[in-house]
Amino acid sequence: MTDRSFLTFCRLRTRLLGAAVAGLLGLSAARAQQPADSLLPAIGTRFAAYSQRVPAEKLYLHVDRPSYLSGETMWFKAYTVAGNPHRPLAASKVAYVEVLNRENVPVLQTKIGVMHAAGWGSLVLPSSLPSGHYTVRAYTRWMQNGDPELYFHTTVSVVNTHTQSGLPAAGPAAAPDAQFFPEGGHLVQGLLSRVGFKITDGAGHGVAATGVVLDPSGARVAQFATLRQGLGSFSFVPASAGGGYRAEIKLARRPPIVVSLPVVETRGYVLRLEEGNAERLRLVVQATGAGDADERLFLLAHAGQQVAVAATGQLYEGKAVFSVAKTGLADGISHFTLFNSHRQPVCERLYFRPPAQQLRLAAQTDKPQYGPREKVSLRLTAAGPANLSVAVYQLDSLSAAGGTNIVPYLWLTSELRGVVENPEYYLTSPSRDRAEATDNLMLTQGWSRFKWADVLAPKPAPLQHLPELNGHVVRGQVVLSATGAPVANVPVYLTMPGRYFQLYNSVSRADGSIRFEAPDLYGPTQLIVQPNTERDTLYRVDLLSPFSTRYARRPSAPLWLPPGWAAGLRQRHVQSEVQLHFQSKTPAYSTPLLDTATFYGKPDERYFLDQFTRFKTLEEVMREYVPGVMVRMRKDGFHFLVLDHNSRNLLESPLVLLDGMPVFDTNKIMAVDPLKIKRLDVITARYFHGPLVYNGVVSYTSYKGDLGGVPPDPYALLQDYEGLQGQREFYAPRYDTPQAVQSRMPDFRNLLYWNPNASAEELSFYTSDQAGRYRVVVQGLSPNGSAGTTSFDFEVKPPL
């Protein structure tokens, strides 16, 4: 598989990384005031090679609103970008979107096509879907090579108002949780260490708390208090090694809890990041018993797998200091990794630099207040070209908070583990505590997108998932039917029979895996997958799910709604029921115009059988009218031979197709009623198709595309399969005539407008019959990777 955009991206990253590494390594001596060491270039080179081989890809999903009723439709748009800077990355052509329940069981799954780094679709939430919090996650096939924490995640609320309460019975509240994270990764005896902590309730929400740290003897050595969202930090010097340190935590209106701190090591390294001044950072390294007194150390900083800092240093009396200019760091999260003299990563620390530039978006309606069924003119402006998505939905108790935001996701939360509460705070808040709160977040939820063992390995491990550069790839495996053991070098054919068909083939690899690149596979269909059963019937073909079966660990609590929200829920239920019974028919999914030509293009010979005298048997048809195909009888029945017009040789056993399905037993073809066959195509030469070579092609097409009554081979796999989701236009009524305005057809929409492919211009839509406050949300991405978002509210009031 090849794709110019993806290859260009990889090559560009290689050049940039190589130049960056070379330049940074050349400056390393000046930074650390030490001569360059051979190990540092080796680390940088390995890292550049890894980044070129496994470039980072991110996916962001703009979901139309934060809450739904069962039976409503969820609309979404996917943006695919490179790691950093977040330029649109037109590599992956398929995005996978799932809705998961609290147990990480998918309740809805779909695949959408991605073109020019964007794609959109929708999911209808079943009316039987229970109430609760659900996770919407999205990813590409390429992203499945990484940790599932890298997938896009957001939480939506779903309420089933068809039940009496709409909610499950409330269970006992889960116990609070406290976690402690030493800066750099380790607590070391006798070394000053800073420790970040995170205290949450059973639902994963941060809670305010205070506490003290006690040593093994029970003496107090530190005290602490949360700053924001249950996060905080403190410093102390552990005097003894082992696991005897503990924290006693006091919570409001809850019993106190006691949590053990991480084990204190007798020797090792401690990394501490300090704000040196407004222009520079200081990274202080302390070590004891870890190596030589004058051990050489190496510091590498990267953002989005692009090197920003490479420096060498040397311990002096167990201490080394690195000074880093902030201007040399990329926007977003930078990862500082410390290596010892044996090229082993020993400490890691994250630092966040707010983005200097964002895509400036502005949105404004022509009026702040409207009446029912009134036209709204919405003016969008952007500082430069941008790909935008727009949602307008009613604000109520359920949807007042939440929703996705592209800016903090790309710059912050996509690089962190777990759920980040109110991520907008860390980018926009004017609070004096923001810098400290951000640093606490880096201490407690930081992690790496990759493992350094993979980067520094002498031989790279094979990647399990290749990017879908040209369209959806159907995966499977060939195994022995008796044992389930994988089988290599078995040709396998995949087709969707019909009047307009495509045939795909693959040869099984050493692990039995097969891959069919099927870019024209849309909507629900039935696939027929089979090897050549005339040669061997010992094999079985299994198709694999394209969806990831690995899940991130994310806390989720039952949905609880205050009793005061009952009136709002009843109103929302009426809206939903009225729309369900009175709205116009929901537009069906439409697929793009596909090439109806067969995979072999224009055949050497084509016969429309209605143009000839009809015979009773297909044998007579073949012998009388098709000179390019010779029919021979042998002990096992009929055989075809094709005369190669190039070499004048006879090609035995051509590929025989019936409505695109390979038929390996010619006797089955000859038993077909010729009155059911509309057309016959013949390729009178060897045909190269993927990894296989056919001795010509003989292709029959029936009138109905139903295989002419011939059943598939009993050893073939027939499987219902969902291809890419077709496009469905968002429907909203127009009230541009007096008759439409006076129509008695009720309109209780709470999602007034959804446009996943908007641009900076003037848009228009109409309000519904439902009075209330509505929110306009605009999000987008520019070609240079600048993300932006803006939102505002307007009112719809009933007439006086």
Burial track 189-203 (b if 16+ CB lie within 10 A, e otherwise): bbbebbbbbbbbbbe
Q: What is the DSSP letter of 727?
A: B
Distances (CA, A) of 705 to 499, 677, 681, 710: 4, 9, 15, 11
The pLDDT of residue 20 is: 37
> For 109-137, what is the mean pLDDT?
94
> For 657-668, what is the mean pLDDT?
94
pLDDT interval class at 619 (50, 70, 90): very high
Alpha helices by DSSP H, listed for 650-721, are 666-670
Single-letter amino acid code for the residue at 519 = P
**Encoding tokens for residue 376?**
């709204």
Residues for the chain: how many in total?
A: 800
The pLDDT of residue 291 is: 60
Q: Which residues contact 569 (CB under 8 A, 6 or more apart)?
A: 159, 161, 166, 397, 398, 561
Contact 765, 376 (CB under 8 A): yes
Tokens 């590929």 sit at which residue? 655
The span from the CA of 160 to the CA of 620, in Å, is: 64
DSSP SS3 for 4: helix
**Encoding tokens for residue 582?**
């009175």
**Weakest-pLDDT range from 90-104, 490-504, 519-533, 568-582:** 568-582
Choose between 71 and 579: higher pLDDT: 71
Contact 471, 530 (CB under 8 A): no
Contact 215, 209 (CB under 8 A): no
pLDDT interval class at 22 (50, 70, 90): very low
DSSP SS3 for 327: helix
Q: How is 299-320 classified by DSSP, letter by letter? A: EEEEETTEEEEEEEEE-BTTEE
Residue 466 in this model has a pLDDT that exceeds 80: yes
Tokens 């692990």 sit at which residue? 511
- Extract the runs of DSSP E, i.e. beta strands, from 684-736: 687-689, 692-694, 697-702, 717-722
SS (H, E, C) 422-480: CCCHHHHCCCCCHHHHHHHHHHHHECCCCCHHHHHCCCCCCCCCCCCCCCCEEEEEEEE
What digits encode the pLDDT tens for the residues 169-196?
455 566 889 999 999 999 999 999 999 9
The span from the CA of 81 to the CA of 493, in Å, is: 34
The pLDDT of residue 254 is: 86
The span from the CA of 265 to the CA of 186, in Å, is: 7
Residue 9 in this model has a pLDDT that exceeds 70: no
Peptide bond just before 798 cis, omega within 30 deg: no
> For 86-114, what is the mean pLDDT?
95
pLDDT interval class at 14 (50, 70, 90): very low
Type and span of the H or E element at 129 = none
The pLDDT of residue 30 is: 31
Pairing of strands 187-188, 264-265: parallel
Residue 669's Cβ-side half-sphere holds a number of Cα atoms within 13 Å equal to 26
Residue 19 in this model has a pLDDT that exceeds 60: no
The pLDDT of residue 596 is: 80
**Weakest-pLDDT range from 308-317, 530-539, 657-666:** 530-539
The span from the CA of 295 to the CA of 303, in Å, is: 27
The span from the CA of 675 to the CA of 616, in Å, is: 8
What digits encode the pLDDT tens for the residues 683-702?
999 999 999 999 999 999 99
The span from the CA of 209 to the CA of 572, in Å, is: 37
Domain over 605-722 is classified CATH 1.20.59.10: no
Domain ranges in the chain are: 177-353, 605-722
What digits encode the pLDDT tens for the residues 347-401?
999 999 999 889 999 999 999 999 999 999 999 999 999 999 999 999 987 777 7
Percent of the chain with pLDDT over 70: 92
CB-CB neighbours of 246 under 10 Å: 18
Residue 792 in this model has a pLDDT that exceeds 70: yes
pLDDT interval class at 164 (50, 70, 90): low
Single-letter amino acid code for the residue at 716 = A
- Sign for the CA dihedral angle at 721, 724, 727, 731 comes to positive
Distances (CA, A) of 315 to 34, 290, 341, 705: 11, 11, 11, 76
Choose between 460 and 542: higher pLDDT: 542
Tokens 């929110």 sit at which residue? 775
The span from the CA of 635 to the CA of 756, in Å, is: 63
What digits encode the pLDDT tens for the residues 735-770?
999 999 999 888 988 899 999 999 989 999 999 999
What digits encode the pLDDT tens for the residues 67-78?
999 989 999 999
Q: How is 139-207 classified by DSSP, letter by letter? A: E-TGGGGS-GGGSEEEEEEEE-TTSSSSSPPP-PPPPPEEEEEETBT-EETTS-EEEEEEEE-TTS-B-
The span from the CA of 332 to the CA of 357, in Å, is: 11
> For 304-333, what is the mean pLDDT?
90
The pLDDT of residue 649 is: 82
Q: Which residues contact 233 (CB under 8 A, 6 or more apart)?
A: 183, 194, 195, 196, 197, 224, 439, 440, 443
Q: What residues does 630 pair with on adjacent strands?
A: 641
Choose between 145 and 33: higher pLDDT: 145
pLDDT interval class at 584 (50, 70, 90): low
Tokens 């068909």 sit at which residue? 501
The span from the CA of 86 to the CA of 57, in Å, is: 9
Contact 80, 92 (CB under 8 A): yes
What digits encode the pLDDT tens for the residues 208-257?
999 999 999 999 999 999 999 999 999 999 999 998 999 999 998 888 99
Type and span of the H or E element at 27 = helix 4-32
Average pLDDT, the chain: 88
Contact 328, 280 (CB under 8 A): no
Angle in degrees, 0-180, between the axes of helices 39-53 and 4-32, rounded to the nearest 10: 160
The span from the CA of 735 to the CA of 232, in Å, is: 54
CB-CB neighbours of 403 under 10 Å: 21
The pLDDT of residue 402 is: 74
**Encoding tokens for residue 692?**
């296989």
The pLDDT of residue 429 is: 85
Pairing of strands 152-159, 67-69: parallel
Contact 303, 56 (CB under 8 A): no
